[in-house]
């Protein structure tokens, strides 16, 4: 960004307005990002929990179906044992019935045969009786063991025996469970023979509370069981169980075991997991581990998100700082440029017979103010002093020195000092030993009417005089820069100027390039300044444009052209 | 020997030789401008106070010097009894001449 001409003030207003809007935009974007930072962790947690639930349910159902299969196997095994046990009931009854038929109801033989089954340590039957079928029942023909329950109600016995005789198995089973001493009754009629006799036996009384455990040595000691008469599991049909309360709960397996014209229902569940405790606990284990992993993953996600947000906030605050710096920088640049222009002439004096022009262009893209300046001072109605100077260094110190030199020149010019005296006086104002500063100054005293020029240089580059398409540098005696020694003396060089001549004075920024002799730069200027004719203002603009690109030095240039 | 590199600035380095019978000798190589001239000043300043007799600047390796570098040398010239610039390139020589400082800086060919 450069500023040309003695125009002051760059307006930073619009730029700041745009930045303000950007800031609001960023705030809005930031608010969106911060809306709810927890959604991703929550999703992770939910997905983890759902996966865990699925795994738990799969493992639980696998466990349950395996357990069920095993239980079914066990209940069938147990059922087979029962079926085998039924033979010990059926065989003596069938044999006794056959015997009764064969002996035509010989009670003595019957009692002799059946008696062993009702005695001993574990008798098969509590009682056994022989009945004749048909007619009105009055009681058994013969009886051994404890009194038979059914004998007390002959009519019931008759109905029961009739059913037994009609049944395909010839074996009837009846539950006498409502009695004080509950028991089962078995009746057998011989098939194929005369069928006139029925052998009826009753079991030993069932335990009053129906409780009986498997023996510890039994293959089924790991099962709870309940045995019912018939196909239902009504409590009133319960024969025996090892539990205090029926029905069995949890996972059960049941088996219907036919016996005679009736059946038993055998129900079991497992006291302990049949597969062992690990498969049973596995779903729990999967559940606990899954939940912990889900929570861990969610926390990790949350932490990552927080870190990313933190980084984003940091980045955005850095961005804001950078913006602020840019704003401050541009503000400072504006201040520097404003100050620079304030130190340059506001307007150039108008002298009849000449046109004047000047440019100042800042060099480096920086906030520093430069030490270059130009000045045109009208001494009277036909004389003026054209000044171009360059204080070494940059910044406020250079600018302050430049300002003091510039106003001192005005003061000395006002008291009509000639240029060499002005420079000599200036040399007392600056000392390189104390401030480290030097200033090169070119003073050109122009007499417009007389067409003469008196040039005095304190270490400054020579001015260019252009006339008729030819440029000549006025290289006179060059004195030391201001600041080298106080009271230095200077010598002026006077030349007369042709009509319509143009005088250009400039600072080194216009011609100096690194790695190149200033003579090459001066030649470039000479060529550019004489290349074509234009008005002074156009010439100055063109020179800056053609010669100054890629220069990082400040440049001041002042020109004067005789109109005749 | 003391060496110093100025960072973030134009590339320059300087060597200070022990002062001998001829005086304090400073060799400057690279490019010297407003961005690193302060580094040179602080590197040489204290040695200059100890040896205010004669300062010899060996500029054979100096590719570029701007007006702030020349201003520093002029300042040094006021601080010592005698200064001498050796092996000055033609380009630099031309600048010094154009500023009317050839005598002040005692430029040797």
Min Cα separation B76/chain A (Å): 8
CB contact under 8 A, B100 and A517: no
Name, in order, each residue with C-beta under 8 angstroms of A11's C-beta and a sequence gap of 6 or more. none
Say yes or no: A240 and A364 in one domain. no
Q: Are A163 and A172 in contact (CB under 8 A)?
A: yes
pLDDT of residue A243: 80
**Per-residue pLDDT reduced to its tens digit, A318-367:** 999 999 998 988 888 788 778 888 888 888 998 999 999 999 988 766 66
**How many CA within 13 A on the CB side of residue B76?**
34
Q: What residue of B is the nearest CA neighbor of A460? A: B99
Domain that holds residue A246: 223-267
Q: Examine the domain organization and report whether A237 and A356 are in the same domain.
A: no
Looking at chain A, the whole-number percentage of residues with pLDDT higher than 70 is 90
**SS3 of A95, please?**
helix
Whether residues B91 and A515 touch (CB distance < 8 A) is answered with yes
- Cβ–Cβ contact A444 with B under 8 A: no
Residues A449, A558 share a domain:
yes
Residue A14 confidence (pLDDT)? 42
Write out pLDDT tens, residues A235-260: 888 888 888 877 888 888 888 888 88
Interface test with A, best of B33, B38, B49, B98 (most A CBs within 10 A): B98
Which A residues in the span 366-425 are in contact with B, Cβ-Cβ below 8 Å?
A: 390, 392-394
- Band (pLDDT 50/70/90 cuts) for residue A33 is low
For chain A, the first-to-last Cα distance in angstroms comes to: 37
What average pLDDT score do residues A400-418 get?
93
Domain count, chain A: 2
Min distance A549 CA to chain B CA atoms (Å): 18
Do A383 and A502 have their domain in common?
A: yes
Same domain, A368 and A239: no
Do A245 and A355 lie in one domain? The reply is no
pLDDT band at A193 (very low <50, low <70, confident <90, very high): low
Q: How far apart are CA B81 and CA A370, in angstroms?
A: 32
CATH number at residue A350: 3.60.40.10
A408 within some domain: yes
Q: Structural domains in chain B?
A: 12-98 (3.30.750.24)
Per-residue confidence at B6, pLDDT binned at 50, 70, 90? very low
Q: Supply the mean pLDDT for chain A.
A: 84
Mean pLDDT, rounded, for A191-205:
76
Verify whether the Cβ–Cβ distance B98 to A480 is below 8 Å.
no
Say how far apart CA A441 and CA A423 lie, in whole Å.
8
Rounded to two decimals, the pTM is: 0.56
pLDDT number for residue A425: 95
Query: What is residue A151's predicted lDDT score, i.e. its pLDDT?
Result: 79
Residues A423 and A528 in one domain: yes
pLDDT above 80: residue B65: yes
Give φ, ψ of B11 to 5 degrees: -80, 115
Nearest to A393 among B68, B94, B98 (CB): B68
| Residues contacting residue A261 through CB under 8 Å, at least 6 positions apart | A163, A164, A167, A168, A169, A171, A172, A173
Give the pLDDT confidence of A450-491 residue by residue, as tens digits: 999 999 999 999 999 999 889 999 998 999 999 999 989 999
Contacts of A461 in chain B (CB under 8 A): 98
Question: Which residues on chain B are in Cβ contact (under 8 Å) with A432?
Answer: 71, 74-75, 78
Q: Does A143 touch chain B (CB under 8 A)?
A: no
In this prediction, residue A11 has a pLDDT band, given cuts at 50, 70 and 90, of: very low
Nearest-Cα distance to chain A for B21, in Å, is 26
């Amino acid at each position: 960004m450069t500023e040309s001409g003695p125009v002051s003030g760059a307006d930073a207003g619009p730029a700041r307005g745009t930045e303000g809007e950007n800031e609001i935009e960023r705030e809005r974007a930031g608010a969106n990002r911060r809306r709810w930072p927890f959604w991703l962790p929550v999703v992770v947690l939910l997905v983890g929990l759902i996966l865990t639930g699925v795994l738990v349910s799969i493992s639980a159902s696998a466990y349950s179906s395996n357990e069920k299969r095993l239980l079914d196997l066990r209940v069938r095994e147990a059922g087979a044992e029962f079926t085998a046990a039924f033979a010990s009931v059926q065989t003596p009854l069938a044999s006794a019935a056959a015997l009764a038929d064969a002996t035509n109801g010989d009670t003595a033989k019957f009692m002799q045969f059946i008696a062993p089954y009702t005695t001993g340590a574990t008798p098969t039957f509590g009682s056994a009786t022989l009945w004749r079928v048909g007619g009105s029942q009055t009681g058994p023909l013969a009886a051994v063991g404890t009194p038979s329950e059914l004998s007390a109600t002959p009519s019931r016995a008759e109905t029961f025996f009739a059913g037994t005789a009609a049944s395909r198995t010839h074996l009837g089973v009846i539950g006498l469970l409502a009695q004080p001493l509950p028991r089962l009754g078995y009746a057998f009629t011989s098939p194929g023979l005369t069928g006139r006799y029925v052998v009826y036996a009753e079991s030993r009384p069932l335990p009053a509370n129906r409780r009986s455990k498997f023996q510890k040595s039994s293959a089924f000691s790991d099962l709870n069981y309940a045995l019912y008469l018939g196909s239902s599991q009504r409590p009133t049909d319960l024969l025996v169980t090892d539990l205090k309360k029926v029905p069995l709960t949890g996972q059960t397996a049941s088996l219907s075991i036919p016996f005679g014209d009736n059946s038993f229902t055998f129900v079991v569940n497992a006291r302990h997991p049949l597969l062992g405790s690990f498969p049973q606990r596995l779903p729990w284990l999967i559940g606990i581990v899954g939940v912990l992993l889900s929570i861990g993953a969610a926390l990790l996600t949350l932490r990552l998100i927080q870190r990313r947000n933190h980084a984003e906030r940091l980045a955005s605050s850095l961005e804001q700082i950078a913006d602020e710096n840019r704003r401050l920088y541009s503000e400072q640049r504006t201040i520097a440029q404003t100050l620079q222009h304030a130190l340059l002439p506001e307007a150039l004096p108008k002298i009849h017979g000449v046109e004047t022009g000047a440019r100042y262009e800042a060099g480096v893209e920086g906030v520093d103010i430069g030490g270059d300046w130009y000045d045109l001072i009208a001494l009277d109605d036909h004389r003026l002093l054209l000044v171009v100077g360059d204080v070494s260094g940059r910044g406020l110190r250079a600018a302050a020195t430049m300002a003091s030199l510039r106003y001192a020149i005005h003061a000395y010019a006002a008291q009509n000092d000639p240029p060499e005296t002005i420079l000599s006086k200036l040399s007392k104002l600056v000392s390189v030993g104390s401030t480290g500063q030097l200033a090169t100054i070119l003073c050109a005293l122009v007499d417009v009417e007389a067409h003469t020029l008196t040039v005095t240089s304190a270490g400054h580059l020579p001015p260019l005089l252009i006339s008729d398409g030819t440029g000549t540098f006025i290289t006179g005696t060059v004195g030391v820069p201001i600041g080298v020694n106080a009271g230095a003396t200077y010598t002026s060089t006077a030349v007369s100027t042709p009509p319509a001549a143009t005088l250009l004075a400039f600072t080194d920024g216009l011609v100096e390039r690194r790695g190149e002799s200033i003579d090459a730069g001066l030649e470039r200027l000479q060529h550019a300044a004489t290349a074509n004719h234009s008005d002074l203002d156009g010439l100055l603009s063109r020179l800056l444009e053609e010669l100054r690109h890629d220069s990082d030095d400040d440049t001041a240039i002042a020109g004067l052209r005789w109109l005749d | 020997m003391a060496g110093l590199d100025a960072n973030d600035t134009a590339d320059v380095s300087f060597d200070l030789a022990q002062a001998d019978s001829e005086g304090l000798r400073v060799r400057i190589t690279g490019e010297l401008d407003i961005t690193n001239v302060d580094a040179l000043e602080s590197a040489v300043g204290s040695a200059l106070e100890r040896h205010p007799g004669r300062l010899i600047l060996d500029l054979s390796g100096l590719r570029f010097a701007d007006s702030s570098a020349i201003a520093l040398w002029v300042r040094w010239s006021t601080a010592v009894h005698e200064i001498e610039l050796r092996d000055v390139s033609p380009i630099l020589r031309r600048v010094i001449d154009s500023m009317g400082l050839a005598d002040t800086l005692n430029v040797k060919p």
